[in-house]
Amino acid sequence: MPAGSHGFQVGTLCCTVLSDGYAAYPTSWIFPDADRVDLAQALDKRGLPQEQVLSPYTCLLVETGRHVMLADTGLGLGSNTSGAVMARLDVAGIRRQDVDTVVFTHAHPDHIGGAVDTRDPRRLLPMFPNARYVMSEMEWDFWTAARVDLRGLRVPADVRARMESTAKRCLLALRHHVELIGREADILPGVRAIPAPGHTPGHLALLLASGGRQLLNLGDAAVHPLHLEQPGWRSGFDLDPEQALATRRTLLERAVAENMSLMAFHFPFPSVGRVAARAEGGWEWMPGAETL
């Protein structure tokens, strides 16, 4: 299991990445349209397995001095390799009631499952009782609609069904605590939500800025470093792949142009680093909090 937490500063913002655990997905789900030979060579070059991709779940804790914000909450108790974020918060000295803001980059189970206390399935309660839960209005409308069309995903039907049921169950439990945003918006001083659609209709990126430094949380705009090196390779979890690819390019070009640090929820822990444009196209991922 990946290491549990790592702290760093973005100006005056005190940040901690927190592992909620991980999952192993079939390689074909993560790279459904990649050339098989090219993909096999890329994985072999990095000493990675061919059949499965180990995918960390990494949440971001931000302490401003006045506010405590958690960006995404992990899967929660949805599997036997997840649900660790609450223990990580305890280690960081943060109690559930201390968190006053939760931001969902989107409503996939591994990002919202930990937001709801599921220990009593008859009475689901917010895991963070004093928090406002911020998300895109478009994302809320998509998942709470009577009919949720997930046919654009390149994953099995039973996986799509679980995604829909989890989103509906969690969002319903949080309905009196949700704050919806319709466009780019400041969430807290130094924290701004940026529309980044494609992975889901209302997917958000988060820009942290303080003291002349910036960190861009990509959410799931890229779910593996190979998606940076090969910008034409889609993820099977992207609902609108063409829009997702365009969003990824826009975010990465901005990150390079403005010398931003990056975070990506599913990148190898600690899930932070930098990118540089490659002469042959795409971007090189330079991992590690020491690069911030």
Confidence at residue 119, expressed as pLDDT on a 0 to 100 scale = 78
pLDDT band at 261 (very low <50, low <70, confident <90, very high): very high
| The 68-71 sheet, strands edge to edge | 5-10, 13-26, 52-63, 68-71, 101-103, 132-136, 178-181
Question: Tens digit of pLDDT for each residue in 211-229?
Answer: 999 999 999 999 999 999 9
Q: Which long-range contacts (CB under 8 A, 24 or more apart) does 155-161 make?
A: 155/29, 155/236, 155/237
Q: How many helices (H) and strands (E) are present in the chain, helices listed first?
A: 8, 16
What pLDDT sits at residue 1?
40
What is the mean predicted confidence (pLDDT) over 91-99? 94
Closest CA to 265 of 81, 57, 107, 103: 57
Q: What pLDDT shows up at residue 83? A: 87
The total number of structural domains that make up the chain: 1
Percentage above 70 pLDDT, the chain: 97
Q: What is the mean pLDDT of residues 234-263?
A: 97
Please tell me the predicted confidence (pLDDT) of residue 97. 96
Q: 276 is in which domain, residue-wise?
A: 5-291
- Residue 220 has a pLDDT of 98
pLDDT of res. 2 = 46
Global pTM value: 0.95
Q: Please check the confidence at residue 207 and state whether its pLDDT lies above 50.
A: yes
Rounded mean pLDDT of the chain?
A: 94
CATH number for the domain harbouring residue 124: 3.60.15.10
Q: Using the predicted structure, report yes or no on whether residue 3 has a pLDDT greater than 80.
A: no
Q: Is the pLDDT of residue 87 over 60?
A: yes
